[in-house]
Amino acid sequence: GKYRVVSTKSMPGTRWINLLIEQDCRLEICTEKKTILSVEDIIALIGDKCDGVIGQLTEDWGETLFAALSKAGGKAFSNMAVGYNNVDVNAANKYGVAVGNTPGVLTETTAELAASLSLAAARRIVEADGFMRAGLYDGWLPHLFVGNLLKGQTVGVIGAGRIGSAYARMMVLCNTVEGFKMNLIYFDLYQSTRLEKFVTAYGQFLKANGEQPVTWKRASSMSEVLQEADVISLHPVLDKTTYHLINKESLATMKKEAILINCSRGPVVDEVALVEHLKQNPMFRVGLDVFEDEPYMKPGLGEMKNAIVVPHIASASKWTREGMATLAALNVLGKIKGYPVWHDPNRVDPFLNENAPPPA
Ligand code: GLV
Ligand code: GLV
């Protein structure tokens, strides 16, 4: 192989490996056992000559690494993730390294986990499972694990991009004929015309069949969603403007029995404030895939019965993870071969939001 490409982790499937090897690349997959590589570990991997790197969301891709990659002749970096808050894109630009991410293939998989957590929280499935396993079930009772009926309630989506919109469609239409028929309220800086059309069309279908139509509303502020929705799912990108978007004050404005789902990034939620809110409001329930100090949970969270916690697995389906690996390889390969990276967060993504301008 003419080009040296490094992957900081082994990734699912073989397609990504074959793609690189068939195209003149010598691939090195890091075999280091520890879960999270430090900047120093990665500098050592890059070495003196490296044309491109496939990295992970747990790694700090800032000034230091892009300088090292550029010095080693590197032209391309791809995160194996749609989110790229771990990547300093300005630093990459400065050192002439193209950056890629892996949107699209994880949209439905991630939305399905958000929907699973919503249902699990609504029907208290994890609590009830623990109760069974503990041998506590001694007969049917009218009050046992009473949860929420989603039908006719309102689902709130904060960030109606690819994942947020897919989740919204699932909760309203559920990819089935019937669906949960939830009403939708969403907040996004840009209008999601496609999502609005979907829900409008389904509402018309229900009305034509003599049923209560579902409704949608684009909220003028996030607080409107927090106040009105029964189930709220967070799908923004993490940046300065969304850090601690959910905090003590915003939690206080939510319904006492609301359900909050986070499959975006941990720091979008002030987790200390969340633990306190969960303690004060036993009927408030939360489903979390991401944490502020990942892999750690803030003290107390793990003991809360009204919290469901899973270890950042939202994109963890075989199809999606293999797809992400393939996209990451194509991003790096494309750039090495002189094409633009496949998915560059700097470029407008036509699938993201038809009304959003390119990121600044
Ligand atoms: C996972 O968290 C991703 O951003 O792809
Ligand atoms: C519950 O099992 C019922 O039959 O109502």
CATH number, residue 161: 3.40.50.720
Domain membership of residue 346 (yes or no) is no
Distance 82 CA to ligand 1 centre (A): 5
Nearest ligand atom owner, CA of 323: 1
Domain membership of residue 301 (yes or no) is yes
Q: Would you state the pLDDT for residue 110?
A: 92
Q: Which residue has 């499937």 as its token pair? A: 13
- Annotated catalytic residue 294: yes
Instruction: Clarify whether residues 117 and 147 are in a common domain.
Output: yes
Instruction: Clarify whether residues 198 and 326 are in a common domain.
Output: no
- Annotated catalytic residue 257: no
Instruction: Clarify whether residues 143 and 268 are in a common domain.
Output: yes
Instruction: Clarify whether residues 147 and 249 are in a common domain.
Output: yes
> Among the atoms of ligand 1, which is closest to the Cα of residue 81?
5
Instruction: Clarify whether residues 180 and 280 are in a common domain.
Output: yes
Please tell me which residue in 15, 224, 312, 322 is annotated as part of the active site.
Answer: 312
Query: 284-310, pLDDT tens digit by residue?
Result: 999 999 999 999 999 999 999 999 999
Domain membership of residue 297 (yes or no) is yes
In this model, does residue 86 exceed pLDDT 90? yes
> Among the atoms of ligand 1, which is closest to the Cα of residue 324?
5
Query: 9-28, pLDDT tens digit by residue?
Result: 999 999 999 999 999 999 99
Nearest ligand atom owner, CA of 262: 1
Distance 128 CA to ligand 2 centre (A): 16
Q: Long-range CB contacts (< 8 A, 24+ apart) of 146-150?
A: 147/122, 147/123, 148/122, 148/123, 148/230, 148/257, 148/259, 149/122, 150/118, 150/119, 150/122, 150/180, 150/182, 150/230, 150/231
Give per-residue burial for 328-351: e unless 16+ CB within 10 Å, then b. Answer: bbbbbbbbbeeeebbbbbeeebee
Instruction: Clarify whether residues 153 and 298 are in a common domain.
Output: yes
Packed helices 162-172 and 107-122: angle between N→C axes, nearest 10 degrees: 50
Question: Is the distance from CB of 118 to CB of 150 less than 8 angstroms?
Answer: yes
Query: 147-201, pLDDT tens digit by residue?
Result: 888 888 999 999 998 899 889 988 887 545 456 788 999 999 999 998 999 899 9
- Annotated catalytic residue 312: yes
Q: Would you state the pLDDT for residue 360?
A: 39
Backbone angles phi, psi at 296, to 5 degrees: -90, 155
> Ligand 1 atom 4: the closest Cα is on which residue?
83
CA-derived radius of gyration, the chain: 22
Number of domains in the chain: 2
Asked if ipTM goes beyond 0.90, one says no
Domain boundaries, position 189: 107-309
Instruction: Clarify whether residues 111 and 208 are in a common domain.
Output: yes
Distance 19 CA to ligand 1 centre (A): 22
Which among 102, 48, 90, 82 is positioned nearest to 66, based on CA atoms? 90
Please tell me which residue in 265, 285, 321, 343 is annotated as part of the active site.
Answer: 265
Segment 108-137 mean pLDDT: 90
Domain membership of residue 343 (yes or no) is no
Instruction: Clarify whether residues 19 and 86 are in a common domain.
Output: yes
